[in-house]
């Protein structure tokens, strides 16, 4: 069902140009269709701020409930912003105070970039925990992505993430661990998910605290898990929202960091993402760039356009299905007033009866 462009957020127009159905407020008001209000706490850095909006919007718009989605982006203090990103936030994002006043049916918390090893020492830690604490009491379900998963698991269960020997980066095959949970109803038992992170929370640590693991990879670890009650918190360590070019953009940033002496090593390829032809293309480019860097010549043009048709998206359908199941269950548990979750007769600690 469509997303409603209830503000002038530029991502709405970008999605229209891509062919997504985006309703104007006037058209939405003429339809006798239930509304759902989804918060997006966007903590991503400036370069990925707007792309993250669009990625999650696409997953939401693909869901097939008879409902109109109003998405409310907001952020928290403690994340350094440049002038352009700050202007975007001030123009199009809501305040947390407004979110609290109006209420939400569901909340998505994005990942974030951090510099230190201890999350609780990040400037955004306390504002993030304030949002999560409010959501836990007032929102039917909260979906955490990547670093948000690590932060919330540390806050709720005291599980501290473990640094990996090298960046977990690429597209990895996963299998369902629990095939009976409503979140994974009617999805493939094997599917791909992108990962991009330097830290991990392991399956054994999650299960020790009653967290239910739904999908995992032998190479990449846990992707999808839920809180012990089965639904109130959904955890992603992977990135089903990624576009087919998201890892390419990350690879490009790492290449530029090497050229600008911000890192000593030329970046490896994301695993299971580039095919043989793309790897050959980028191997040749690495030689050109390294030679240019050694002789003080300008950066060679990054050959992005030449390889775009070789990049596949092997995870989007499964990501859409999980989001569809998540929002479908929220739809069943909430009434028209998003500030009053419909929990009459439902155990709030076990809303799915699991």
Q: Give the DSSP H/E element, type plus range, for residue 169.
A: strand 162-176
Count of alpha carbons within 13 angstroms of residue 144, beta-carbon side? 26
Using only the alpha carbons of the chain, give its radius of gyration. 21
Do 102 and 339 touch, CB atoms closer than 8 A? yes
Q: Are residues 203 and 128 in the same domain?
A: yes
For 280, the token pair is 């050959």
pLDDT at position 335 is 63
Q: Are residues 226 and 264 in the same domain?
A: no
**Could you identify the residue written with the tokens 């089903």?**
240
Model confidence at 37, in pLDDT bands (50, 70, 90)? Answer: very high
| Number of domains, the chain | 2
Highest mean pLDDT among 9-18, 42-51, 111-120: 42-51
| CATH code: domain of residue 72 | 3.40.50.880
Of residues 200 and 347, more confidently modeled: 200
In a domain, 353, yes or no: no
In a domain, 338, yes or no: no
Residue 190 CB partners (closer than 8 Å, separation 6+): 173, 174, 175, 176
pLDDT at position 353 is 45
**Active-site residue, 281 included:** no
Q: Is the pLDDT of residue 222 over 50?
A: yes
Q: Are residues 266 and 233 in the same domain?
A: no
Q: Which of 101, 126, 99, 123 is nearest to 113 (CA)?
A: 123
In a domain, 100, yes or no: yes
Do 323 and 224 touch, CB atoms closer than 8 A? no
Mean pLDDT of the chain: 90
**Active-site residue, 156 included:** no
Could you say which of 37, 50, 239, 254 is catalytic? Answer: 239
β-pairing, 3-4 vs 22-23, is parallel
**What domain range is 258 assigned to?**
246-310
Could you say which of 53, 146, 200, 250 is catalytic? Answer: 146
In a domain, 106, yes or no: yes
Whole-angstrom distance, CA of residue 325 vs CA of residue 201: 24
Q: Is the pLDDT of residue 33 over 50?
A: yes
Count of alpha carbons within 13 angstroms of residue 338, beta-carbon side? 24
Q: Are residues 160 and 293 in the same domain?
A: no
Do 112 and 147 touch, CB atoms closer than 8 A? yes
Q: Are residues 25 and 173 in the same domain?
A: yes
Q: Which of 175, 166, 162 is nearest to 269 (CA)?
A: 166
Model confidence at 65, in pLDDT bands (50, 70, 90)? Answer: low
Q: Are residues 296 and 214 in the same domain?
A: no
In a domain, 183, yes or no: yes
In a domain, 321, yes or no: yes
Do 117 and 51 touch, CB atoms closer than 8 A? no
Q: Which of 109, 55, 43, 52 is nearest to 81 (CA)?
A: 43
In a domain, 352, yes or no: no
**Active-site residue, 262 included:** no
Q: Are residues 26 and 52 in the same domain?
A: yes
Q: Are residues 260 and 238 in the same domain?
A: no
77: exposed, middle or buried (Cβ count in 10 Å: 0-12, 13-18, 19+) = exposed
Q: Are residues 236 and 252 in the same domain?
A: no
Q: Are residues 116 and 131 in the same domain?
A: yes
- How confident is the model over 8-31, as a mean pLDDT? 71
Model confidence at 16, in pLDDT bands (50, 70, 90)? Answer: confident
Q: Are residues 226 and 95 in the same domain?
A: yes
In a domain, 261, yes or no: yes
Whole-angstrom distance, CA of residue 347 vs CA of residue 349: 5
Whole-angstrom distance, CA of residue 80 vs CA of residue 82: 7
pLDDT at position 341 is 43
Q: Are residues 276 and 221 in the same domain?
A: no
Whole-angstrom distance, CA of residue 112 vs CA of residue 259: 24
Q: Which of 132, 161, 164 is nearest to 234 (CA)?
A: 132
pTM of the model: 0.87
């Amino acid at each position: 069902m469509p997303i409603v462009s209830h503000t002038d957020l530029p991502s709405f127009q970008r999605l229209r140009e891509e062919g997504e159905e985006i309703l104007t407020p006037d058209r939405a008001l003429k339809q006798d269709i239930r509304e759902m209000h989804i918060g997006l706490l966007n903590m991503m850095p400036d370069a990925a701020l707007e792309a993250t909006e669009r990625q999650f919007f696409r997953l939401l718009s693909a869901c097939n409930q008879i409902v109109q989605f109003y998405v409310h982006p907001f952020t928290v203090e403690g994340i350094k912003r440049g002038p352009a990103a700050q202007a975007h936030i001030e123009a199009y994002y809501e305040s947390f105070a407004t979110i609290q006043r109006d209420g939400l049916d569901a909340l998505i918390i994005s990942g974030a970039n951090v510099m230190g090893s201890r999350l609780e020492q990040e400037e955004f830690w306390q504002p993030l925990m304030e949002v999560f604490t409010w959501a836990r009491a007032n929102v039917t379900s909260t979906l955490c992505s990547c670093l948000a998963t690590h932060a919330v698991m540390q806050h709720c269960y005291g599980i501290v993430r473990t640094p990996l020997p090298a960046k977990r980066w690429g597209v990895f095959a996963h299998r369902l661990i629990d095939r009976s949970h409503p979140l994974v109803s009617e999805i493939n038992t094997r599917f791909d998910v992108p990962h991009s992170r330097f830290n991990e929370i392991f399956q054994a640590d999650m299960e020790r605290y009653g967290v239910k693991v739904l999908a995992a990879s032998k190479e990449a670890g846990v992707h999808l898990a839920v809180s012990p009650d089965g639904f109130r918190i959904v955890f992603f360590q992977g990135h089903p929202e990624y576009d087919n070019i998201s890892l390419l953009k990350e690879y490009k940033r790492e290449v530029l960091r090497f050229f600008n002496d911000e890192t000593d090593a030329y970046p490896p390829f994301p695993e299971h993402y580039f095919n043989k032809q793309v790897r050959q293309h980028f191997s040749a480019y690495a030689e050109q760039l390294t030679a240019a860097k050694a002789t003080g010549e300008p950066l060679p043009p990054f050959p992005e356009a030449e390889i775009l048709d070789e990049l596949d998206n092997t995870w989007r359908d499964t990501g859409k299905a999980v989001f569809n199941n998540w929002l479908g269950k929220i739809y069943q548990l909430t009434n028209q007033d998003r500030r009053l979750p419909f929990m009459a007769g439902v155990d709030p600690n076990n809303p799915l009866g699991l």
